[in-house]
């Protein structure tokens, strides 16, 4: 952005990477340190315990891996499964598609349940497959909790209910990249065996840390998994955990300090309050979209995402032009439509360290852009709808009461 100067701040409303709080930026503004000194292991030990809170797990074992969500995917798969193992996974958008592609390239036998882009995972088909699998050939169920390409959130509790109903021992692996720390997530209660997220989403950190959390069942599966793995091998982490030094290779010192501050901010606000804030921001966004006379890409209310809204535009408008115009004229960054919905939707990300007035600025910008590209929006309509809702739902800031 420094090479494309615009006055004021860039309004970042893609569904990740997200805005980084000033406190986190300051916490990361430090020199390198020796990660073998007593200080870094001591901090890491506390971080690992605190990270478990964002997954809502007591039994899980977390791994802080210097990677992206894609690397966290690979870590989850290769530590628990062997080449040729049958996986049932759901194709509902771009990121579930990419995870499935990774599974196939890692030589797993992927049984794909495909839905329209804008629909959630088809759990009826999953139930049929589990009922028919009396020989327990299905070794894992892999699902993206929140598909950011289409703004769809899947019901993880319902997946666990099906597994329990059919007494099926398959592992339950969940991509929580754009959900954990923003949407309700309960690893232990829902029997999730591997959950993962990325630092650049609701944690509001720079990209570069994949956080994976494994259940005791997943750790046991890792002992017999025959997939080749080196950098992502949990065994190396567990060895250094036991030694008390924690790191099998060099971590990003700056990201560790950033994670410490990010967690402190989340815990100060209260994780339940964070989730409620995301619910509020999402509702306001959807009300604005409705006031504009546009449709949500998500087909049913039960699948609405509280971290991203994918907005369908009329056929005579290229949604990519909305994103280009936002960046060029208003210093506003919106999400492009991807793959099957390219040119058809634009995405408003509303996750991470974000408040209501920031969101209203984004919505005002979108209205002007819609006017620019020839859509007959009434200026102020979406902002007014969002304001009417937010004015009656924003709580007092606890620290300022």
- Distances 124 to 162, 192, 206, 244 between C-alpha atoms, Å: 9, 20, 38, 46
Q: Element (H or E) spanning 161, and its range? A: helix 156-165
The secondary structure of 244-293 as a DSSP string is: T---SS---HHHHHHHHHHHHHHHHH-HHHHHHHHHHHHHHHHHHHHHTT
Chain mean position to CA 326: 24
Count Cβ atoms within 10 A of the Cβ of residue 122 and give its class: 0-12 exposed, 13-18 middle, 19 or more buried.
middle
CA dihedral 340, 342, 346, 348 (to 10 degrees): 60
CA dihedral 63, 65, 67, 68 (to 10 degrees): 20
CB 80 within 8 A of CB 221: yes
277 is in an annotated binding site: no
N-to-C CA span, the chain: 38
Task: Give the orientation angle of helix 39-55 with respect to helix 253-269, to 10 degrees.
Answer: 40
CB 381 within 8 A of CB 368: no
Known binding-site residue numbers for substrate: 347
Known binding-site residue numbers: 347
């Amino acid at each position: 952005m420094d090479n494309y100067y615009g006055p004021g701040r860039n309004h970042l409303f893609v569904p990740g990477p997200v805005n980084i709080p000033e406190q986190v930026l300051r916490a990361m503004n430090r020199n390198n340190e020796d990660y073998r000194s007593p200080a870094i292991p001591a901090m890491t030990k506390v971080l690992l315990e605190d990270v478990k809170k964002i997954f809502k797990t007591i039994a899980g074992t977390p791994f802080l891996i210097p990677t992206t969500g894609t690397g966290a995917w690979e870590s989850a798969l290769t530590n628990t499964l062997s080449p040729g193992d049958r996986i049932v996974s759901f194709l509902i958008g771009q990121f579930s598609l990419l995870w499935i592609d990774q599974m196939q390239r890692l030589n797993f036998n992927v049984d794909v349940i495909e839905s329209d882009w804008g629909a959630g995972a088809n759990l009826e088909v999953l139930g049929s497959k589990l009922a028919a699998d009396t020989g327990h050939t299905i070794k894992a169920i892999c699902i993206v909790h929140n598909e950011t390409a289409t703004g769809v959130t899947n019901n993880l509790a319902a997946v666990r209910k099906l597994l329990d109903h059919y007494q099926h021992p398959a592992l339950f692996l969940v991509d929580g990249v754009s959900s954990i720390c923003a949407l309700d997530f309960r690893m232990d209660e829902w029997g999730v065996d591997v959950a993962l997220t990325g630092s650049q989403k609701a944690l509001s950190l720079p990209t570069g840390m994949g956080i994976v959390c494994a259940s005791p069942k997943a750790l046991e599966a890792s002992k017999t998994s025959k997939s080749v793995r080196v950098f992502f091998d949990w065994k190396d982490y567990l060895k250094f955990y036991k030694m008390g030094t924690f790191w099998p290779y060099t971590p990003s010192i700056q990201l560790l300090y950033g994670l410490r501050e990010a967690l402190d901010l989340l815990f100060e606000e209260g994780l339940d309050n964070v989730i409620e804030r995301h619910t509020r921001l999402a509702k306001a966004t959807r009300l604005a979209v409705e006031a504009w006379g546009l449709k949500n890409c998500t087909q049913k209310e039960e699948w609405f995402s509280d971290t991203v809204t994918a907005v369908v535009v009329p056929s005579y408008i290229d949604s990519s032009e909305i994103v280009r115009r936002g960046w060029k004229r208003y210093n506003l960054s919106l999400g492009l439509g991807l793959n099957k919905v390219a040119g058809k939707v634009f995405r408003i990300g509303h996750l991470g360290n974000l408040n209501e007035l920031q969101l209203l600025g984004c919505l005002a910008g979108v209205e002007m852009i819609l006017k620019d590209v020839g859509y007959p929006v009434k200026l102020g309509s979406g902002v007014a709808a969002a304001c009417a809702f937010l004015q009656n739902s924003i709580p007092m800031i606890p620290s300022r009461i």
